[in-house]
Amino acid sequence: MINFANDKPARLALLGECMVEYLAAAPDVPHAYAGDTCNTAVYLRRLLAATEAKISYITALGDDAISRDMLAAWQLMGIDTALVSCIAGKAPGRYTIVTAADGERGFHYDRTAAAVRDLFRATSSARLSAALQGYTLFYLSGISMAILSQAEREQLYDLVKRLHAAHVSIVFDSNYRPVLWSSVQEARCAYAGLYPYVSLALVSYADESAVFADSSPLATAERIASLGVPEIVVKNGAEPCTVKTTDAQQTYPVKQPAQHAVQDTTAAGDSFNAAYISARLGGYDIATAIAAAQRLSAQVIQFPGAIIPEHHTPTLAHLTADDNAG
């Protein structure tokens, strides 16, 4: 279980892939730099800006101009990039968002020269583990796992095991993308091998049911709990959110619907995760953290792309205020 009562400044590390984001409406113009764990890192940095929290991003970039710009952008945001590897001849992947009339999105990916696939050739699990000693938590997703080869994935498992043994809490969002896996069975085995080391699972029912054929969000929560995970949050779109801990289980209706039409659901779950983690690190109970997460997610889906303008991002104090969280 994450020690949410720890009075030391939080130190959070997130591992994954950041890509160049394009919108279908403007296919020749880069819109932003985004990726699931990177999105969460950005929102964590914004929400925890008033604290001494350290947000570190772990990935691999190339030596091209876009990689340099991406690195500079993170540094400008206040994200620690000391653990970002740069690989000659490589570049970030790219993806295009296609949104339907209801705001639901589809993705077209190009990872031909993506540097992150060689992350553990540029560094090692032992080196990363040593650098992350004393961190509060380590965050990864199903995409973080899926983009790696089996050999690279074994290095990721080794890193997770080392950090777990060092009492660094592991946070996982399964974030299933079928196109990145050779089969459902491959994803199922990969996730099942990780869950015994996870302290906090922030997953969606759609992803988990696609991989494990769960019959309900509660079934998802119970299955993950049976693997030893002490705190599980199962998101389910506009339907109630299910939370299970070692002591209780509860459902939370979505109380903060968007006030305007949904434009783009990209990063809805990523921002939810950032707000939930931030609130829990701030000492708030699960009910308040869920309400804060729902509120930020509802704000994010009112804008195109994954990262909304910073001045439209509510503060953690606003997200957790009684009139919002009640």
Active site residues: 270
Tell me which H or E stretch contains 112: none
Q: Alpha-carbon distance 313 to 270, whole Å? A: 14
Q: Alpha-carbon distance 169 to 156, whole Å? A: 15
Beta-bridged to residue 231, according to DSSP, are 200, 245
- Determine phi and psi for 130, rounding to 5 degrees: -65, -40
Per-residue H/E/C for 37-93: HHHHHHHHHHHCCCCCCEEEEECEECCCHHHHHHHHHHHHHCCECCCCEECCCCECC
**For residue 241, which of 264, 269, 282 has the smallest C-alpha distance?**
269
Half-sphere exposure of 70 toward its Cβ, with a 13 Å CA cutoff? Answer: 31
